[in-house]
């Protein structure tokens, strides 16, 4: 039987009065992957890393992973880089992928400074992450959109132009698809905070906000019926 490729997604958030955020971005990546992967049976998603732990414990957590993605924000950049660097040091074969709003649009300097990072994903990461992971099967990343990397000669390769996802209905809800059910079950002592996404995009370019500066385009909305179902899910989990 063929060994499954193990994928870990790290989205480390802060704890507020003992409550943790469900790792929404990690859930989006996993739910999209499981819906659209042509070879989903070949992959296994490990538990997402959602809270701050000792770096060594985090490395142990993903020590047998084949691919680890990091969702990068200002509040988790330092610890995420530390984990990724140590993880790569003990396992040169692990593919390290960084995405999220803290990743620079022009990632050459970032990649040269942090050479333990194999690939950077730009923009909305659901499709780019799936395409990138599946490209490893034939060692062909040159046609994957929305990514940057240093090739084997150290030359910066940039396919960072990405197409916005206009039809948000194609993105499965990580809440409704059951992605978080086991996580909640495995941590019964945790109080959970919810990130609720009702739309994407913004036509403005406010410097304090990532959406406008990243896309400067129209707002795309999630379907109202989906949002109603998510509210029902939130209320049931609250009980």
Predicted pLDDT of residue 212 = 55
Q: Please enumerate in sequence order all residues whose Cβ is within 8 A of that of 10, keeping only pairs 6 or more positions apart, or say none.
A: 26, 48, 49, 58, 62, 68, 69, 70, 71, 80, 83
Predicted pLDDT of residue 204 = 83
Whether residue 165 has pLDDT greater than 90: no
Whether residue 161 has pLDDT greater than 90: no
Q: Are 156 and 119 in contact (CB under 8 A)?
A: no
Residue 216: pLDDT band (50, 70, 90) is: low
Whether residue 143 has pLDDT greater than 60: yes
Tokens 């950049």 correspond to 77
Q: Quote the mean pLDDT of the chain.
A: 92
Q: Is residue 118 part of a domain?
A: yes
Q: Is residue 80 part of a domain?
A: yes
CATH number at residue 39: 3.40.50.280
Predicted pLDDT of residue 211 = 63
Q: Is residue 164 part of a domain?
A: no
Q: Are 81 and 98 in contact (CB under 8 A)?
A: no
Q: Is residue 205 part of a domain?
A: no
Q: pLDDT by residue (tens digit) across 73-104?
A: 999 999 999 999 999 999 999 999 999 999 99
How far is Cα of residue 85 from the mean position of the Cα atoms in its chain? 18
Predicted pLDDT of residue 17 = 87
Mean predicted confidence (pLDDT) in 221-227:
95
Q: pLDDT by residue (tens digit) across 119-141?
A: 999 989 999 999 999 999 988 88
Instruction: Report the chain's terminal Cα–Cα distance, integer Å.
Output: 42
Of the candidates 86, 10, 78, 88, the residue with the CA atom closest to the CA atom of residue 45: 10
Number of separate domains in the chain = 1
Q: Is residue 75 part of a domain?
A: yes
Q: Is residue 9 part of a domain?
A: yes
Predicted pLDDT of residue 205 = 80
Predicted pLDDT of residue 148 = 96
- Please give the residue range of the domain that contains residue 90: 5-159
Residue 105: pLDDT band (50, 70, 90) is: confident
The pTM for the full model equals: 0.93
Q: Is residue 70 part of a domain?
A: yes
Rounded Cα gap, residues 158 and 148, in angstroms: 4
Q: Is residue 182 part of a domain?
A: no
Lowest mean pLDDT: which of 55-64, 173-182, 211-220?
211-220
Q: Could you write out the three-class secondary structure of the chain?
A: CCCCEEEEEEEEECCECCEEECCHHHHHHHHHHHHHCCCHHHEEECCCEEECCCHHHHHHHCCCCCEEEEECCCCCHHHHHHHHHHHHHHCCCCEEEEECCCCCCCCHHHHHHCCCCCEEECCCHHHHHHHHHHHCCCCCCCCCCCEEEECCCCCEEEECCCCCCCCHHHCCCCCCCCCCHHHHHHCCCCEEECCCCCEECCCCCCCCCHHHHHHCCCCEECCHHHHHHHHHHHHHHHC
């Amino acid at each position: 039987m063929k060994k499954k490729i193990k994928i870990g997604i790290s989205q480390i958030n802060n704890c507020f009065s003992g409550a943790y955020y469900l790792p929404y971005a990690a859930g989006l990546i996993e739910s999209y992957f499981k819906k659209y992967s042509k070879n989903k049976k070949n992959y296994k998603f490990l538990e997402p890393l959602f809270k701050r732990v000792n770096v060594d414990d985090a490395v142990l957590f993903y020590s047998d992973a084949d691919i680890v993605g990091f969702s990068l924000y200002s509040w988790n950049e330092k610890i995420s880089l530390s984990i990724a660097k140590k993880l790569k040091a003990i396992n040169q074969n692990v593919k390290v992928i960084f995405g999220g709003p803290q990743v620079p649009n022009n990632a050459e300097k970032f990649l040269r400074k942090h050479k333990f990072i194999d690939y950077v994903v730009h923009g909305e990461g659901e499709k780019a992450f799936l395409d990138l992971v599946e490209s490893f099967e034939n060692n062909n990343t040159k046609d994957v959109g929305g990514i940057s990397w240093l090739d084997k000669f150290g030359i910066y390769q940039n396919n960072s132009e990405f197409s916005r996802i206009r039809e948000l209905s194609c993105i499965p809800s990580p809440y409704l698809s059951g992605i978080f059910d086991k996580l909640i079950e495995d941590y019964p002592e945790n109080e959970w905070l919810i990130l609720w996404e009702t739309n994407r995009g913004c036509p403005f370019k406010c410097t304090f906000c990532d959406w406008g500066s990243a896309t400067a385009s129209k707002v795309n909305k999630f379907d109202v019926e989906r949002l109603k179902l998510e509210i029902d899910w939130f209320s049931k989990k609250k009980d």
